[in-house]
Amino acid sequence: MNTELQNFIEKYDLYGCIQCGRCTGGCPVTVRTNLNVRRFVYDSIDEDALEELAKLPEIWDCTACSTCAVRCPKGLKPLEVLIGLRGILVLEGQVEPTVRDALESIFREGNPWSKARATRSDWMEGLDVKVADPETEVENLIFVCCTVVYDPRVQVTVKNLVKILNKADVDYAFVGDDESCCASEAFNLGEEELFEMMVEDNTELLNSFKAKRIVTISPHCFNAFKKQYPDLKAEVLHYTQLIGELLEDKKLEFTKELPQKIVFHDPCFLGKQNDVYDEPRFVLSQIPGAELVEFERNKERSLCCEGGGGKMWVESDSKLERLAETRVKDAHALGADVLAAACPFCILTLDDALKAKGFEEEMKVSEILEIIGDLLEE
Amino acid sequence: MNTFVCVKRVPDTSEAEVKVDATEKDVDSSKFSFDINDADNYAVEEAVQIKEAQGGTVQVLCCGPQDADMMIRMALAKGGDSAMRIDDPRINFSDPLQVAKVLAAAIKEQEYDLVLTGCWADDDGFMAVGVALAEELGIPHAAMVKKVEVEDGKVKAHRELEGGISEVVEITLPAVLTIQTGINEPRYAPIRGIRQAQKKELKVLKLDDLGISEEEVSEDSSLIELKRFYIPEVESKAEIIEGEPEEKAEKLAEKMVKGGLI
């Protein structure tokens, strides 16, 4: 028995669990997979069973949405038991090729998408972008996120953010070429030591700038920086919080009308994990002509889109309806013109679901930055 | 079973725009990512799996610059025991025969049963180093191997031929096998393994250390001279079909029917 397995009980406080089952009761993926997180917490007490438990495919169904942790009356994080089991396979090198490629890419190129580090700032071409210089003080240091940088579907979000920051004359600068993955997904895929290495490197990099605040585009970077980067000097914000401030201070105003019905989907890493519920809604509420509606399951009860927890690189065996499809159907039933979110993973999963459901003609999936970037006076 | 596995660091050009540089003797690699050659990665996995099943050692061998060390460490993390990297400005990397000569010099004085290489390199696509290496070592080889069965003093190598046919050859060891992708599923090299692999030996050698003279390996002694790279001109026959996806599909289908393709 190696020490890794012996530490399992202590690391995840397994004896702290009272087996009440609120974790499994609240787990959103149970409607489409066999995952029973309570059972994994219980079974993991037997150190000799861990290797076998790690072979069960359900451990990869968890989206790390954290509903189980939010609901646990004992303050445990049941999902991390699943992440720990994934870690056993990671140390053996026995993970899905897609997971292997994502992790190796984070290690080699600083992003999980197997893209060249040298092209990280290519999105800036032709834009008036301020890039940070370690010698100059800056109020808002912008951290973009690998998915936003490299994925053509969501790259528009950062381009629009630049437009907004310039328009509102914000004191900002982007991290630039040296930016690397926050490694939130490496953690969730069970590669803890890669995560720790990235935390160390990123903390050194981000602290090398004289920045008061770090502003992230993705809630996944936001959550990681807030909760898993203990030595970051600057305050961490999500961009919806910054835009909210600008609107409140009248530094930014949406001048064009958008007479559409918008429903906001709470990203798990922004909402239920960090209680940022009001700012995205406030930003959307400032759009002239727009009507905001709510999902029946909203805020802390929001339904996960299944984009987190490393799920961008792991396909579930389940053939049942994806949660993102359920979400899109619910938005459609509300008569929404726009299903808005503030997270690149949510946008990618919801947009796929929109196509799968064939609602493209009637409804759009849009990042908040995508919507508001077009509402500024030229 | 003592195995040498040869690896090369290559650029990933699958998505990058490839531009020829001003010398016309190289491409601008400033926007590329680099990694282990794909087929070599499968060769490493095969070598490690053979070691796990049969015992013995795996030595990683590379001709290339210091930038290749991370890739070598990753191969060591997966189960390699030690590594050698030969780095010398005298090597003409455009000449697979020269590269084979250098690799052979590193291998031949040692005890070994098997030498694995990838079946081709993603950058130059010569498909020659492995086969030339067998010639230099004076041992048999099998190329494009999709399955290896180790037997006493021999291997059965399943080779992939055109048209989906497999050929099985029995080869007496020692032998060189050039490994085709898909033979296995390469494992992940965890960070812990890469850190532990820092303790494994990685010897960096010059051609003089291997006793290779200037007459044998140098730019002048090479039989191959790289003349130039160029991007082929777009042929006037190339046609871009415009329109909505449905229209495009219809036009394309029409052309294929007219041209007798379907």
- Whether the CB-CB separation of B50 and B173 falls below 8 Å is answered with no
Torsion of CA A110, A114, A115, A116, to 10 degrees: 60
What is the tens place of the pLDDT at every residue in B5-45? 999 999 988 778 889 999 999 999 889 999 999 999 999 99
Whether A94 and chain B come into contact, CB under 8 Å, resolves to yes
* Cα B240–Cα B15–Cα A348 angle in degrees, nearest 5: 90
Are A131 and A220 members of one domain? yes
Name the residue facing A116 among B31, B189, B194 (closest C-beta).
B31
Answer yes or no: is A377 within a domain. no
Are A168 and A241 members of one domain? yes
- Strand, helix or coil at A340? strand
Q: Among candidates A188, A239, A241, A3, which has minimal Cα distance to A81? A: A188
Q: What is the pLDDT of residue A54?
A: 97
**Pairwise CA distance, residues B129 & A92, whole Å:** 32
- Whether the CB-CB separation of B79 and B184 falls below 8 Å is answered with no
Yes or no, beta carbons of B188 and A117 under 8 Å apart:
no
Q: Among candidates A184, A208, A207, A206, which has minimal Cα distance to A196? A: A184
Q: Among candidates A320, A326, A196, A220, which has minimal Cα distance to A268? A: A220
Contacts (Cβ under 8 Å, ≥6 apart) of A40: A53, A58, A59, A78, A81, A82, A85
- Whether the CB-CB separation of B102 and B95 falls below 8 Å is answered with no
Are A260 and A368 members of one domain? yes
Q: Which of A220-229, A343-352, B222-231 has the lowest mean pLDDT?
A: B222-231
User: What is each CA distance from B149 to A49, A314, B6, B157, B184, in whole angstroms?
Assistant: 33, 32, 20, 7, 13
- Kindly tell me if the per-residue pLDDT of B125 is higher than 60: yes
The nearest CA of chain B is from the CA of A230 a distance in Å of 21
The nearest CA of chain B is from the CA of A373 a distance in Å of 27
Please report, as a single letter, which amino acid is at residue A181: C
Strands (DSSP E) found in chain B: 2-7, 9-12, 33-36, 57-63, 82-86, 114-118, 141-151, 154-160, 166-172, 175-179, 202-205
Name the residue facing B191 among A94, A107, A109 (closest C-beta).
A107
Are A72 and A126 members of one domain? no
- Strand, helix or coil at B200? coil
**Pairwise CA distance, residues A240 & A269, whole Å:** 13
Are A187 and A302 members of one domain? no
Q: What is the pLDDT of residue A2?
A: 57
Higher pLDDT, B226 or B141: B141
How confident is residue A21, by pLDDT bands cut at 50, 70 and 90? very high
Last residue of a domain, one of A183, A216, A247: A247
**Pairwise CA distance, residues B218 & A23, whole Å:** 67
Whether A108 and chain B come into contact, CB under 8 Å, resolves to yes
Whether A90 and chain B come into contact, CB under 8 Å, resolves to yes
Q: How many domains does chain A have?
A: 3
Residue of chain A with shortest Cα separation from B30: A118
**Pairwise CA distance, residues A336 & A328, whole Å:** 10
- Touching B: A residues 36-65, CB under 8 Å: none
B-chain residues near A103 (CB < 8 A)? 188
The nearest CA of chain B is from the CA of A324 a distance in Å of 26
Which two three-digit tokens encode residue B158?
């399943």
Last residue of a domain, one of A199, A221, A247: A247
How confident is residue A322, by pLDDT bands cut at 50, 70 and 90? very high
**Pairwise CA distance, residues B154 & B148, whole Å:** 10
- Kindly tell me if the per-residue pLDDT of A178 is higher than 90: yes
How confident is residue B233, by pLDDT bands cut at 50, 70 and 90? confident
Contacts (Cβ under 8 Å, ≥6 apart) of B101: B132, B136, B212, B216, B217
**Pairwise CA distance, residues B19 & A201, whole Å:** 32
- Kindly tell me if the per-residue pLDDT of A1 is higher than 60: no
**Pairwise CA distance, residues A195 & B77, whole Å:** 18
- Kindly tell me if the per-residue pLDDT of B165 is higher than 70: yes
**Pairwise CA distance, residues B38 & B223, whole Å:** 27
Pick from A2, A88, A91 the residue to mutate for testing the B interface (most B CBs within 10 Å): A91
According to DSSP, residue A85 is labeled H
- Write out the residues of chain B at the interface with chain A, using a CB-CB cutoff of 8 A: 12, 15-16, 30-33, 35, 70, 74, 78, 185-195
Q: What is the DSSP string of A153-167?
A: TTHHHHHHHHHHHHH
- Kindly tell me if the per-residue pLDDT of A105 is higher than 50: yes
Burial class (CB in 10 A: 0-12, 13-18, 19+), A55: exposed
**Pairwise CA distance, residues B13 & A115, whole Å:** 10
Last residue of a domain, one of A92, A112, A127: A92
- Touching B: A residues 114-133, CB under 8 Å: 114-119
Are A107 and A238 members of one domain? yes
Yes or no, beta carbons of A104 and B185 under 8 Å apart:
no
B-chain residues near A119 (CB < 8 A)? 16, 31
What is the tens place of the pLDDT at every residue in A119-132? 999 999 999 999 99
- Whether the CB-CB separation of A236 and A311 falls below 8 Å is answered with no
Are A125 and A232 members of one domain? yes
A-chain residues near B36 (CB < 8 A)? none
Are A113 and A226 members of one domain? yes
Answer yes or no: is A341 within a domain. yes
Q: What is the pLDDT of residue B13?
A: 81
- Whether the CB-CB separation of B119 and B143 falls below 8 Å is answered with yes
Domain with A289 in it: 254-372
- How far apart are the two ends of chain A, measured CA to CA in Å? 65
Percentage of residues of chain A with pLDDT beyond 90:
96
**Pairwise CA distance, residues A56 & B109, whole Å:** 47
- Kindly tell me if the per-residue pLDDT of A297 is higher than 50: yes
- Whether the CB-CB separation of A50 and A11 falls below 8 Å is answered with no
B67 phi and psi angles, rounded to 5 deg:
-55, -20
Which two three-digit tokens encode residue B189?
């090299």
Q: What is the Cα Rg of chain A in Å? A: 21
In this structure, what CATH number is given to the domain that contains residue A164? 3.40.50.1860
Are A222 and A259 members of one domain? no
Q: What is the pLDDT of residue A186?
A: 98
In this structure, what CATH number is given to the domain that contains residue A281? 3.40.50
Q: What is the pLDDT of residue B68?
A: 97
Mean per-residue pLDDT, B141-156: 96
Are A107 and A62 members of one domain? no
Report the DSSP pairing between strands B33-36 and B114-118. Answer: unpaired
- Kindly tell me if the per-residue pLDDT of B164 is higher than 90: no
**Pairwise CA distance, residues A188 & A16, whole Å:** 22
Contacts (Cβ under 8 Å, ≥6 apart) of B172: B140, B153, B154
Are A110 and A87 members of one domain? no
Mean per-residue pLDDT, B62-77: 97
B143 phi and psi angles, rounded to 5 deg:
-105, 160
β-sheet bridge partners, residue B33:
B12
* Cis peptide bond N-terminal to B174, omega within 30: yes
Q: What is the pLDDT of residue B106?
A: 97
Pick from B191, B192, B195, B196 the residue to mutate for testing the A interface (most A CBs within 10 Å): B191
Q: What is the pLDDT of residue B17?
A: 83
- For chain A, give the mean pLDDT: 96
CATH architecture of the region B2-210: 3-Layer(aba) Sandwich (3.40)
Percent helix / strand / coil, chain A, rounded to 5 = 50, 10, 40
How confident is residue A139, by pLDDT bands cut at 50, 70 and 90? very high
Mean per-residue pLDDT, A20-38: 96
ipTM: 0.91
**Given CA atoms B126, B127, B133, B136 in this order, what sign does their dihedral have?**
negative
* Cα B97–Cα B101–Cα B105 angle in degrees, nearest 5: 170
A-chain residues near B76 (CB < 8 A)? none
A88 phi and psi angles, rounded to 5 deg:
-65, -45
How confident is residue A6, by pLDDT bands cut at 50, 70 and 90? low
Yes or no, beta carbons of A94 and B16 under 8 Å apart:
no
Higher pLDDT, B164 or A56: A56
Which two three-digit tokens encode residue A88?
């056993």
Go through A215-235 and write b for each residue having 16 or more CB atoms within 10 A of its CB, e for each that does not.
Answer: bbbbbbbbbbbbeebeebebe
Q: What is the largest CA-CA distance in chain B?
A: 65
Are A79 and A141 members of one domain? no
Q: What is the Cα Rg of chain B in Å? A: 21
Q: What are the sequence ranges of the domains in chain B? A: 2-210
B-chain residues near A99 (CB < 8 A)? 188
